[in-house]
Amino acid sequence: MPIRQYSQLLTGPSLLYVEGDDHKRHRKIMTPAFGGSQLKALVPVFFEAAASITKKWKDILSVSEDQSEVLNVPTWASRATFDALGHGAFGYDFGAIENQDSDLSRAYKNLLTDMYAAPTDGMIIENALYEYLPLKVVSWMLEYTPNAKIARGRTTRDMATDVARRMILAKSEDLAELEGNKDLISLLVKANMLETARNRLSEKELVAQILILFLGGLESTANSLSWTLLELCRQPEIQTKLRQEIHAKERELAREGRTEFTAEDFDNLPYLIAVVKESLRYHPVLIHILKMAMENDCIPLSQPIKTEDGKQIDQIPVRKGQKVFVSVPAFNRSKVIFGEDAHVFKPERWLDKSKANKGPSIGMYANLLTFSTGVQSCLGWRFAVLELQAFLVELISNFEFTLTPECENIRKEYSRVVVPTLEGELSKGAQCPLRVRCTKMSDR
Ligand code: HEM
């Protein structure tokens, strides 16, 4: 699949599309907004989005007969991550949880599944041809093809572009307000203003960075949360252990006269950290990373391998221009690195630091490949980890999740991100129906 061309279609000249010096220039301006302290300050924003789910779910459960209800978790996760991104990244209230018909959140809901899942034969052939055509020609074709799946992407991009332009204009007009604001767009606009004219991002490039946050920051985190909750239902004892840790911490905070968790409190919740790491290891939502060799080179191997003709090699030669697909699950579930039980969801593996990961130091987080590695690694990994931690604390504290009979039919659909869908119901998009009930006050 011509990933770069599709990235350009959905985001314009964003980090995901530009290369070389342009990539360095974009990344330099984007990076300050993604620093540890900036993102830690967003934890209350993540809790606010998670708390609005709690409020909605409690309203739904209060009128149900047995105080429990089957809820499609990805729908809610997608709306909550939309609001978290809106407040945290843009200082903007999309109201996705309150108003599920918010145009933009509806447009992004299931966008990647609608565009990429179950491609028709025609699309498979078209995509294969795109690989041989010049980038400009493919971009032109994607811009004008009547194909409904591609048109769906264009409409969403155009709606988001309008919103992004208005946000940038508002931020750029009010310089005094910009000073005090800590949301990512304010930091981005400020960093851009401080750059020399030569290095500054154009308005089109700034808009593209906002579009990449919509694309990169929504379905990835929402689906990661859904997969995590599914695993916590498959192994209820892990869910109970996590809840006990969270409730114990809540009691500790209450003794200190506090009600809200901070990022530092997460550091003292080892089982929460272990669950998040294990979920990101076991269910990486981006499973392929595409790289291209810029010159003739050799990829060194950590262990020698035998080729089909019986030769032992310790490096793989690549030609200039050759494309290499890196498989994230192959690394994340490697028995050499994670041990014989690498195929089992087991947060406990992270509790003993000496055993956690015997592999090379490679990724951004927990030495996993989930957020990729190197100059094009995920810029939003801290955002995603803190968001997942906050959502899990809020939801596991307030609700018990159990499997429903439909969970037997959950399958992984690859549509640029790995989405839970139900067998035979792909057209309904992401589905992970879990039974939800309130936790007992006596458990707290
Ligand atoms: C669990 C959630 C997430 C996962 C698994 C994830 C994973 C990744 C991966 C694997 C890449 C590299 C893609 C490639 O090279 O083809 C990437 C890039 C990127 N991600 Fe994430 N991501 C997540 C959440 C986020 C969030 C929340 C944001 C922003 C708020 C974000 C922003 C970005 C950006 C800007 C890039 C492009 C970086 C560059 O090219 O320099 N991501 N992400």
- Protein residue whose Cα sits closest to atom 17 of ligand 1: 378
Instruction: Flag whether 233 is marked binding.
Output: no
Q: What percent of the chain has pLDDT over 90?
A: 52
Q: How confident is the model at residue 137 (pLDDT cuts 50, 70, 90)?
A: confident
Region 178-184: mean pLDDT is 72
Region 143-160: mean pLDDT is 91
Residue 130 near residue 5 (C-beta atoms within 8 A)? yes
Q: Check residue 176 and give its pLDDT.
A: 65
Q: Check residue 358 and give its pLDDT.
A: 65
Q: Check residue 190 and give its pLDDT.
A: 82
- pLDDT tens for residues 13-31? 888 888 889 899 989 888 8
Ligand 1 neighbourhood includes 376 CB (under 6 angstroms) = yes
Q: How confident is the model at residue 108 (pLDDT cuts 50, 70, 90)?
A: confident
State pTM to two decimals: 0.93
Q: Which long-range contacts (CB under 8 A, 24 or more apart) does 171-178 make?
A: none
Question: What is the Cα 443 distance to its own chain's centre?
Answer: 32
| 3-state helix/strand/coil string of 162-228 | HHHHHHHHHHHHCHHHHHHCCCHHHHHHHHHHHCCCCCCCCHHHHHHHHHHHHHHHCHHHHHHHHHH
Region 54-77: mean pLDDT is 93
Q: Is the pLDDT of residue 1 over 60?
A: no
Residue 33 near residue 187 (C-beta atoms within 8 A)? yes
For residues 129 and 234, the model is more confident at 234
Which three-class secondary structure state does DSSP give residue 285?
A: coil
Region 45-57: mean pLDDT is 94
Which of 15-29, 60-74, 266-280, 389-403 has the least mean pLDDT?
15-29
Ligand 1 centre and the CA of 26: distance in Å? 14
**How is residue 178 written in tokens?**
């910009």
Which of 172-176, 223-227, 242-246 has the least mean pLDDT?
172-176
Instruction: Please give the Cα distance from 390 to 401 (Å, whole number).
Output: 17
**How is residue 91 written in tokens?**
């200082």
For residues 120 and 224, the model is more confident at 224
* Mean pLDDT value across the chain: 89
Atom of ligand 1 nearest to the CA of 209: 35
Cβ neighbours of residue 390 under 8 Å, at least 6 residues apart?
A: 43, 46, 47, 50, 261
Q: How confident is the model at residue 2 (pLDDT cuts 50, 70, 90)?
A: low
Q: Select from 23, 201, 206, 378 the residue to mutate for testing ligand 1; criterion: most ligand atoms less than 8 Å from CB.
A: 378
Neighbour-count burial of 153, counting CB atoms closer than 10 A to its CB (0-12 exposed, 13-18 middle, 19+ buried): buried
Annotate 211-261 with DSSP letters as a single string.
Answer: HHHHHHHSHHHHHHHHHHHHHHHHSHHHHHHHHHHHHHHHHHHHHTT--S-
Ligand 1 centre and the CA of 382: distance in Å? 10
Q: What percent of the chain has pLDDT over 70?
A: 95
Q: Is the pLDDT of residue 99 over 80?
A: no
Ligand 1 neighbourhood includes 77 CB (under 6 angstroms) = no
Region 335-345: mean pLDDT is 93
Q: Is the pLDDT of residue 425 over 60?
A: yes
Q: Check residue 65 and give its pLDDT.
A: 85
Closest to 397 in 3D by CA, of 255, 220, 232, 223: 232
Q: Is the pLDDT of residue 6 over 60?
A: yes
- pLDDT tens for residues 192-236? 888 888 888 888 898 998 998 888 888 899 999 999 999 999 999
Region 123-149: mean pLDDT is 85
Instruction: Please give the Cα distance from 9 to 135 (Å, whole number).
Output: 11
Atom of ligand 1 nearest to the CA of 388: 1
Ligand 1 centre and the CA of 220: distance in Å? 8
Ligand 1 neighbourhood includes 217 CB (under 6 angstroms) = yes
Q: How confident is the model at residue 238 (pLDDT cuts 50, 70, 90)?
A: very high
Number of H helices, E strands in the chain: 21, 9
